[in-house]
Structure 1
Amino acid sequence: MNKEPIITLSHVTKRIGRTTLIDDLTFEVPQGEIFGFLGPNGAGKTTTIRMIVGLMSITKGQILIKGKNIKTEFEQAIRNVGAIVESPEMYKYLSGYHNLVHYARMVPGVTKERIDEVVSLVKLENRIHDKVKKYSLGMRQRLGVAQALLHRPSLLILDEPTNGLDPAGIRELRDYLRHLTRTEGITVIVSSHLLSEMELMCDRVAILQRGKLVNIMPVQHFTRENEHVQTYRIQAQPTEQALAAVRHMDSVHEVKLAKEGTVEVTTERERIPDILAELIQNHIRIYGVEMVCQSLEDRFLEITGVEQIG
């Protein structure tokens, strides 16, 4: 069953003078998905987010949030959104709880019970009455997420949420976002240039480069775009003989020497037994076979070329 999109961008373009910051961006995100913007600094991730939340005007195209146009029906559209753009702003001399109470006064319908509920969701019960100035950066991020969730949005937007977090804080945030999508059905859009985190956090990733959408696909497809043809690393001795033995085989797309004592062979999975039989027939000793998984970073550089990631 297809899920209805929570947010739809159609041919969205942003120009300032003669400079095009975002060029004809089109995609949609369904309910309960963690969707990632991935790209170098300056690729257009924050500009896109600013247009989604109404902080920047749209030159051309439209953005719909639950069917409401962010340009012509701003109030109806934005009430479905919770967002942290750049870093969450808090009153450091107040407790976490009083920060939430202060924000709740500006949003109709937020009860004390809802405040307690989001505090529990972000797992800050033990520290919520401490002053924010005593919070770690990770705790402030979680408090910011709690604030963004108070009005029960359908869409949560986080711009570079892992900036400044230590590995434990990054993992904590990642696990929490997964928990949110499962238990609350919230859609999450997150931007980052940290490839490894996007690989672990997101369901799908959109690659942006110079304001253009280069590609968009499930994360697992970045690491195995062609599931039929894969690269396998074979530990074999003598290595040079192993290389010569499989090089002539029709089923082998590519073969090369890898690290010491191994040969990398690109082929179909069902051809591996034939390759091993060929090696054995040539009196080559085999010590192991493993599939080589391409990382998200490898795929990113393959798709976008050699541009350095910011």
Structure 2
Amino acid sequence: MTEAVLQLRNLTKRIGTRKIVDNLTFDVPPGEIFGFLGPNGAGKTTTIRMIVGLISISKGEALIKGISVSKHFELAMTHVGAIVENPEMYKFLTGYQNLVHYARRHSGVTKERINEVVNMLGLQNRIHEKVKRYSLGMRQRLGVAQAILHRPSLLILDEPTNGLDPAGIRELRDYLRKLTREEGISVIVSSHLLSEMELMCDRVAIIQSGKLIDIQSINEVRNSAQTKIVIEVEDAHAAYELLASAFDPSRLSLSGDRIELTADKSAVPTITKLLVSSDIDVMGIYAEQKSLEDQFLELTGGEMVV
């Protein structure tokens, strides 16, 4: 079995008597885009800061390529590229000059590698312009280029889509997919944009109050057998009573002339026959797959995401 690029083992952060992060344990395998979601104050940024050594670990450990961040920090960080908050760069220099300057911090980064990364991230047409002329999306891409120059095994991006327009978000998503495919890099993305995480990530970890609530595969979410069946009828109350006798009432909800039922979508023909045979006029019936946002809100009790 391929060794995980990142392993968290009972990772904990205490400030005073309060646990900000509480015994987080999970693995991130090679070539995966792993999302990190949580409500306000859940501890996701604190977790990222512990992984990259910006704050100390109170208990447990983070292993990168099997190397302990606490015990062998410098060696572990040779396998990591990260942007925490905003990418930092010299705006009076060109994009290329920034990359050359950053490359000097790592041994073995050649001009060929710099050009390879520039082309990979689609920066070649603007790379010799000063960074102060770059859009936010261009600066984000240059930041990712800086972070992967030394061929890290793990790329960590904290809120990388902040301030980006839809086109910029899509570009970043495409480049991250390209990185995992062509470079074999594992990517951890922290974001509050659930819809983007659903499009960008392979798996998503949900944390609340510093604890891991669940880890969900996006494919499993998309292919989930449990869907929301929406039923629009003329006599909603009669239809609701009828369906409550045939299905678990806790899976039913009624709002105006609209009834929602959480069930396998194969139940649609049964529902249709039941309503028609009872002379209830059906205006519409269709299945809506539960989004990541629906499942997130269920798991966190409706708390807002940050």
Same fold (TM > 0.5): yes
Query: Where does structure 2 lack aligned partners over 5 or more consecutive residues?
Result: none
Q: Displacement, 1:263?
A: 3.1
Size of the alignment, in residue pairs?
A: 306
Is this contact kept in 1: 2:117–2:145, CA < 8 A?
yes
1:124-162, Cα deviation, whole Å (9 max, x unpaired): 110000100000001000000000010001110001111
Q: Displacement, 1:295?
A: 2.8
Residue equivalent to 1:278: 274
Residue equivalent to 1:51: 50
Q: For residue 187 of structure 2, what is the amino acid of its counterpart?
A: V
Residue equivalent to 1:233: 230
Cα 1:279–1:111 change in 2 (3 A) is same
Q: What is the alpha-carbon distance in structure 1 between the residues aligned to residue 36 and residue 67 of structure 2?
A: 22
Q: What is the alpha-carbon distance in structure 1 between the residues aligned to residue 17 and residue 247 of structure 2?
A: 53
Q: Displacement, 1:244?
A: 4.2
Residue equivalent to 1:88: 87
1:10 aligns with 2:9: yes
Q: How does 1:246-285 map to 2 (within 5 A)?
A: 246-249=243-246, 254-258=251-255, 260=257, 262-285=258-281
Q: For residue 249 of structure 1, what is the amino acid of its counterpart?
A: A
Q: For residue 96 of structure 1, what is the amino acid of its counterpart?
A: G
Q: For residue 151 of structure 1, what is the amino acid of its counterpart?
A: H
Residue equivalent to 2:240: 243
Is this contact kept in 2: 1:251–1:267, CA < 8 A?
no
- SS in structure 2 of the partner of residue 5 of structure 1: coil
Cα 1:12–1:232 change in 2 (3 A) is same
Is this contact kept in 2: 1:253–1:267, CA < 8 A?
no
Cα 1:248–1:86 change in 2 (3 A) is same
Residue equivalent to 1:139: 138
Q: Displacement, 1:285?
A: 4.0
Q: Displacement, 1:76?
A: 2.2
Residue equivalent to 1:155: 154
Q: Displacement, 1:247?
A: 3.4
Is this contact kept in 2: 1:230–1:292, CA < 8 A?
yes
Q: Displacement, 1:246?
A: 3.1
Q: For residue 166 of structure 2, what is the amino acid of its counterpart?
A: P
Cα 1:244–1:307 change in 2 (3 A) is closer
1:95-116, Cα deviation, whole Å (9 max, x unpaired): 0000001111221101110000
Q: For residue 192 of structure 2, what is the amino acid of its counterpart?
A: H
Is this contact kept in 1: 2:40–2:304, CA < 8 A?
no
1:113 aligns with 2:92: no
Identity of aligned residues (%): 59
Q: Displacement, 1:15?
A: 1.8
Residue equivalent to 1:25: 24
- SS in structure 2 of the partner of residue 270 of structure 1: helix
Q: What is the alpha-carbon distance in structure 2 between the residues aligned to residue 250 and residue 90 of structure 1?
A: 59
Q: Displacement, 1:24?
A: 0.9
Q: How does 1:154-193 map to 2 (within 5 A)?
A: 154-193=153-192
- SS in structure 1 of the partner of residue 230 of structure 2: strand
Is this contact kept in 2: 1:223–1:299, CA < 8 A?
no
1:46-102, Cα deviation, whole Å (9 max, x unpaired): 211111112222111111111111122222211111111111111000000000011
Q: What is the alpha-carbon distance in structure 2 between the residues aligned to residue 159 and residue 167 of structure 1?
A: 18
Residue equivalent to 2:211: 212
Cα 1:177–1:248 change in 2 (3 A) is same
1:71 aligns with 2:70: yes
Q: For residue 279 of structure 1, what is the amino acid of its counterpart?
A: L
Cα 1:258–1:293 change in 2 (3 A) is farther
- SS in structure 1 of the partner of residue 5 of structure 2: strand
Residue equivalent to 1:61: 60
Q: Displacement, 1:190?
A: 0.9
Q: What is the alpha-carbon distance in structure 1 between the residues aligned to residue 11 and residue 180 of structure 2?
A: 26
Query: Where does structure 1 lack aligned partners over 5 or more consecutive residues?
Result: none
- SS in structure 2 of the partner of residue 72 of structure 1: coil
Is this contact kept in 2: 1:9–1:25, CA < 8 A?
yes
Cα 1:146–1:265 change in 2 (3 A) is same
Q: What is the alpha-carbon distance in structure 2 between the residues aligned to residue 113 and residue 13 of structure 1?
A: 41
